[in-house]
Structure 1
Amino acid sequence: MRVLLVEDTPDVADAIVEHFRRRGDAVDLADACAAAADALAVQVYDLLILDINLPDGSGIDILRGLRRDRDGTPVLVLTARLAVEDRVEALDMGADDYLMKPFDLRELEARARALARRRAGESGGVIEYGDLRFDPAGRTAEVAGRPIALTKREFCLLETLVANRGRVMPKEAIFDKLFAFDAEEVGLNAVEVYVGRLRRKLEPSRVAIRTLRGLGYQLVADA
């Protein structure tokens, strides 16, 4: 999952970034409205975690701009404001959820995963495809009832492919899901490496990663 976190409080931002990256997500951090606008101009995100009080404006303005442009990126608002009116305003502007500060990182992650599943059209938490059983919340995957051990990056790759199962995912799109802007030392060929590793771990099963040269990768399942 590719996440943009807009938060200007260093300790809060660092804790959120570390938590999500530890789970294998790619997280970009913006500490002001201007930085957030720059990131949104060049990258498509699965989720925007948005603080309201920012040094150069309000997170509500970012949210308003997204919805004005008919950008449906899920937005989870973080707020320290206690007034009901502030929360109502965020929801009226198109926020998908909000969380009051201080909060538990586990709750933040659970809400983030729920929004990502909702966007992907998943009604439940556990996804079954062929003989693959994938649990994004529990961070587990099984093939024909057999657990498979995945690294954080491999799990994130499988999560991306499962969310787009049956569809062709360009290599560039997969790269954007796996790596944040600050992963400058990582090249596009890293996708091939992780696909190869995951493909081996899915064997033998009725689920496979198909390579379509010049197009990308596709997760398919035999009937």
Structure 2
Amino acid sequence: MIIPRFKRILLKLSGEVLMGPGQFGIDPATVDRVAGEVAAAKAAGHELCLVVGGGNIFRGLAAAAAGFDRTSADYMGMLATVMNALAVQNALEKLGVETRVQSAIPMSSVCEPYIRRRAERHIEKGRIVIFAAGTGNPFFTTDTAAALRAAEMNCDALLKGTSVDGVYDADPKKVPGATRYESLSFDRVLADNLKVMDAAAIALCRDNDIPIVVFNIRGEGNLAAVLRGEGTSTIVRNMEMEEQHGRL
């Protein structure tokens, strides 16, 4: 599969990626590796912004199911994403990459507030911007926050780095014979309820013509390979865009 070269990218990282081999928390070695791949993508000429989930520290939805008030649980999850964003910022800056964290929940002692024009200016100056605290509102996932920020930053694509190498017709961890899709339309993802991102995120990307590329960030070098169009992944886009490119 040939993926067109995207200039400005929003990379969505699941919080679980930062756990590395552990079951909870942040693994410094894994964060350093991921930061190295992000830095290499920037050096290759891409403009980058990031959204990092918080599932390695706290999951609002799971906590709500266990009896927490949903609104309070979601705010706790947002705070977890700030911790992860600061960890990634620290790893990037150790590599000499200028990075800014912007939070949708103002906390001026540790990071900037989210201001769209300021974020755009940072990216134009070659800095990497990490968006934290989701949308700043409960009941919205970090997937939705990623799609929203990708639209606001006029990104060419949203890359979702997870622990699987694409979108399957069944859970590949539970169904050994599950088949990976090379490409999908947004409408197919919504109609078949495929687990790419939540429906709000899919609709946002569809309406703003932002392709979603799902790949496995856990494998070393996978981000660079996907950006070159050589890696294993699934690309989700509008059907008319597929016809226009004619390369899928």
TM-score range, shorter chain: 0.3 to 0.5
Larger Rg: 1
Higher relative contact order (CA 8 A, sep 6+): 2
The alignment's TM-score, normalised by the length of structure 2, stands at 0.31
Kindly indicate which of the two structures has a greater share of residues assigned to strand. Answer: 1
The alignment's TM-score, normalised by the length of structure 1, stands at 0.33
